[in-house]
Structure 1
Amino acid sequence: MLRQFNGAMLLLAIISFSSCRKHVMDDMPMEKSIDYPAAYIVNGEDATISVIRLSDNAVSETIDLMGSSGDMVMWPHHIYHLQSLGEHRLTIAVPGMDLSEGHAGGMAGMKGKVIVMDAVKGTILKDLEVPVMNHNAVYSPDGKEIWTSQMAMEGKVLVLDAATYALKNTIQVGMEPAEVTFSSDGSKVFVANSGDDNVTVISPSSKSVIATVPVGDNPVAAWIGYDGKMYVDNEEGKSVSVIDVATNKVVQTIELGFMPGSVSHNAPKKELWVTDPENGKVHYWKWDDTMKDWMHGGAFDAGAGAHAIGFSADGNTAYVTNQMASSVSLVNTASHSKIKDIIVGKKPNGIVLKQ
């Protein structure tokens, strides 16, 4: 009887251990193999990333940020991509609150996060808490630093060592800074200060403020132009301020008549696209070489809460996130018409393409 009892106990222990091991393995994030051109979409409400395979424009993977990082991840927002030394990295900012209705104002006491992800394996490399909610996090062009905003009344930009994640510099900027972006040549950093209606220009090498550029009411980001310009979307001002990178001056103001979601420059087509979230549309402007000016070309339907835009490398295809429709609109840029909607997670906002 004792031998039978011991055998039964041993069998029970093996079964219990196996069940426990299976439960642990099930909870562990599985590595992906995203070794193909893809679009990464941040779903704010779901705290997930939808991966769209560009070859067939189908959702190929869904990455759970909550499960992967092990910590609470609330309302991830914008995403950036860096390829350096053969590695593909993604940076994701987690402000901790829903910014789908607009970006004005931060929540007092709210902390933010910077998530660094392996873009091919889909695994979290770092989940770093920062003192104040942040709008985005972006690698420096050389991949040695990560820059992120601190959306407080006394605005700051934090510069982190990309290898150790240690804080290297703290740069004072304007009130409630939102997006931090590098110019296309990497020579300057632009910080949109929503509370001060201006943009701070910073030298990435010296970490010193070069200029402060007045723009429209409630600027959210100085989006990258590949023509020596930066394009600032002013939410309350319902306009786009065009900043010349060389002179740090506004050279044109484009009056929109609607609150912009974001701005994206399609360099191969010489077009500027601005999303209109309240009407679910995208407006586009064409560059006139004779007039040396942006001229409104028209508008087309995307989806409710149209927000961020990503272009294919050849400029022939666009991807537009629709926050209120839980979708991404696939767009033919030649005809300015929607091909189809791709269903993703809830409240998709940031998008980046790995091509």
Structure 2
Amino acid sequence: MKNTIFIASIIGALVLTSCNKDDNMDTTINVNYPAAYVVNGEDATVSVIKLSTNEVTATIPLMGTGTDMIMWPHHISSHENHLAIGVPGMDLSAGHSGLMTAGMTGKLLVIDAMTGAIVKNINLPLMNHNSIYSPNGTEIWVPQMDEMNSKVLVYDATTNALKNTINTGMMSAEVTFSSDGTKAYVANGDDDEVTVINVATKAIITTIAVGDNPVGAWTGSNGQMFVDNEDGQSISVLKVADNTIAQTIALGFMPGIASHNGTKSELWVSDPMAGKVHYWTYDTAMGMWMHGGAFNTGAGAHAISFTIDGNTAYVSNQTANTVSAVNVTNHTVTKTINVGKKPNGIVIKM
């Protein structure tokens, strides 16, 4: 068990200007265009960036009041016209090392992507790093972070009924899926392992030893998953086909997130402390990822999301309170977009 630390960042969020659930329902927006949705943790809002102009066209308030209160929303996923957001209830922008979760609860939040209306707000027994739609969109999978008894809860996306509870490892953070939709991956930070789950049967297939303090196994379109090991300062490259490690990439910095661009055959990894993004290209002759370079985005560089054509990336900069729009071909920032406070998760809907 890693040394625990106390995170005392929640109180400050109480002084933020809030909006109740009815206020949010009355907020009039109509996002009928391709957009990037950016979760602002400290503000408890979602910034909507119109892709054609790279301008913030709407801000969706989430905070609410009482039992509906949303504090420190984190990562986001999408299915059709809905967005699912994980709400751990604490600030995770400084990393996960030594995280203490005793007594912390979370929420599963679903909002309408076009109107910003809150569709569901489900209280969870434990805090959750993310909430993610299953590959076919019929379920929402939610990890439960605990020092000893982590698990994944599987909800019916239509009825909200809890369908399955899957026991995982210690301090389970992000849950993700392989690009073919057959396997789910849960990063267990205190076990230094990743749990692999059969999506159809909900049975655990295996556990894979990775680096020190893994946070997420990020999806590649090339039959690989990329695990960011915070304390190990490395990326474990997992092969989906046989559940083995193909490569361990030494970084020399604590990673924020790893993101694979299949169109450009590049792997990007954010470097929060330096405000940079590093990228790797795949050398087919050597059968491994090779470092290609790095470029500046903004302080606290974190989430990375690519457009479908792979030509543009959006990077959230948590400390700078901005999002960088990046030309993928020449690795240059084309625009810096002001958003809310401590932006983290990003999802793009076309």
- In the superposition, the TM-score normalised over structure 2's length comes to 0.91
Unaligned runs of 5+ in 1: 1-23
User: Is 1:219 paired with 2:220?
Assistant: no
Indicate the residue corresponding to 2:58 in structure 1.
61
State how far apart, in whole Å, the 2-side matches of 1:25 and 1:204 are: 36
Indicate the residue corresponding to 1:136 in structure 2.
130
User: Is 1:310 paired with 2:305?
Assistant: yes
Q: Secondary structure in 2 aligned to 1:315?
A: coil
Indicate the residue corresponding to 2:197 in structure 1.
202
Distance 1:26-1:252 versus aligned 2 partners, 3 A rule: closer
Deviation, structure 1 residue 290: 1.7
Unaligned runs of 5+ in 2: 1-20
2:334 paired residue among 339, 342, 347: 339
Q: Secondary structure in 2 aligned to 1:66?
A: coil
Indicate the residue corresponding to 2:180 in structure 1.
185
State how far apart, in whole Å, the 2-side matches of 1:273 and 1:78 are: 18
- In the superposition, the TM-score normalised over structure 1's length comes to 0.90
- Equivalenced residue count is 329
Deviation, structure 1 residue 66: 1.6
Distance 1:111-1:235 versus aligned 2 partners, 3 A rule: same
TM alignment of 1:1-355, pairs within 5 A? 28-67=25-64, 71-83=68-80, 88-104=81-97, 105-153=99-147, 154-355=149-350
State how far apart, in whole Å, the 2-side matches of 1:27 and 1:139 are: 23
Q: Secondary structure in 1 aligned to 2:103?
A: coil
Distance 1:26-1:246 versus aligned 2 partners, 3 A rule: closer
Deviation, structure 1 residue 29: 2.6
Q: Which has the higher helix share?
A: 1
Deviation, structure 1 residue 30: 2.0
State how far apart, in whole Å, the 2-side matches of 1:219 and 1:193 are: 6
Deviation, structure 1 residue 106: 3.7
2:24·2:117 contact (CA, 8 Å) conserved in 1? no
Deviation, structure 1 residue 69: 10
Provide, for residues 85-120 of structure 1, a one-character-per-residue CA deviation record: whole Å limited to 9, x for no partner: xxx110001000000000232421111000011111
Q: Secondary structure in 1 aligned to 2:70?
A: coil
2:327·2:333 contact (CA, 8 Å) conserved in 1? yes
2:25·2:117 contact (CA, 8 Å) conserved in 1? no
State how far apart, in whole Å, the 2-side matches of 1:179 and 1:131 are: 16
Query: Which is further off, 164-173 or 93-102?
Result: 164-173
**Which of these two proteins has the greater Rg computed from alpha carbons?**
1
State how far apart, in whole Å, the 2-side matches of 1:326 and 1:133 are: 24
Q: Which amino acid aligns with 1:38?
A: A
State how far apart, in whole Å, the 2-side matches of 1:93 and 1:76 are: 6
Q: Which amino acid aligns with 1:230?
A: M
Q: Which amino acid aligns with 1:157?
A: V
Indicate the residue corresponding to 2:3 in structure 1.
none
